[in-house]
Copies of this chain bind each other. A is one copy, B any other.
Amino acid sequence: MNNIKPTIEVCFSPALLHLYNTAGAIVVIIDVFRATSTIAAALHNGAHSVIPVASVDECIQLGLQDSNHITAGERDGKIAEGLSYGNSPLDFPPSFIQGKTLVLTTTNGTRLLHMVQNAAAIITGSFLNLDAVCQFLLNSQRRVLLACASWKDRFNLEDSLFAGAVIDMLKGSFETNCDSARAATHLFHASHGNYLSFLTDSSHYLRLSGFGLKRDLEYCTTPNLHPVVPILKGRALLPLQESALF
């Protein structure tokens, strides 16, 4: 029997991703405000898949290819010109998104997702699917990198807080010798599980609440509303089927 525990590490910014060995690891892309929250909501609400794309133009082009494609994305808190919907997790209820493919353009999360090389699997995480992500990581028993999308490469508080929540749930089952993971755990403990109030003075909260998105922010910090594991297959994120585990 093999008693060596897999390792877990945290990368605080896409600009630091090259320091980590993603080959053979499970990489969890984290963009709490709001890409990976919206991805969890859309897939749990019945979307067929989510295609993350980097640019508005690419989003528009993919939208034109198939009438089942919904284009969505924001720039500076408003629906981007040429797209149909914003990137709020509240924009995609089951009555609307069931069976559709969401083509979503975001800046930070999408770029990071496309940067990851040779991972065993790429999934997305947010408070909305916290327990589902942790259960998947526990089941997989592989090395894990929690990769924070950050904000234009700058460290952010919400993604690192989420990383800390994951590490706390996985403690005992994974090893770590990573100061980013230790710091994320300290942030998690400092929050006392009150994610929203912990984040109310963060840069991203201040920016997005200034756009009138407080309801979104409250939603994005509510754990486990959307228990799904979005996993990248080709260019699309699909809801993981339990039978599809390693």
Contacts and interface: CB of A to CB of B under 8 A. Distances in A.
Contact of A182 (B12, B179, B186, B201): B201
Contact of A183 (B155, B189, B204): B155
B157 A183 contact: yes
A178 B203 contact: yes
A152 interface: yes
Interface stretch (A13-21, A44-52, A58-66, A137-145): A13-21
This protein's copies in its complex: 2
A177 B206 contact: yes
Contact of A179 (B19, B156, B186, B190): B156
A52 B57 CA distance: 49
A202 interface: yes
A19 B183 contact: no
Given A16-B16, A190-B189, A179 B206 contact: no
A16 B19 contact: no
Contact of A203 (B15, B179, B203): B179
A187 interface: yes
Contacts of A15: 15-16, 19
A38 B206 CA distance: 40
Interface in A12-44: 12-13, 15-16, 19
Main secondary structure of the interface of A (DSSP, over half): helix
A202 B190 CA distance: 18
A190 B182 contact: no
Interface in A180-201: 180, 182-183, 186-187, 189-190, 201
Contact of A154 (B16, B154, B202): B16
7 contacts: A13-B13, A15-B15, A16-B155, A19-B152, A155-B179, A157-B182, A183-B187
Interface of A: 12-13, 15-16, 19, 151-157, 160, 177-180, 182-183, 186-187, 189-190, 201-204, 206
Given A13-B13, A182-B202, 16 more contacts: A13-B16, A15-B15, A15-B19, A16-B154, A19-B153, A154-B179, A155-B179, A155-B180, A155-B183, A156-B179, A157-B179, A157-B183, A183-B183, A186-B187, A186-B190, A190-B190
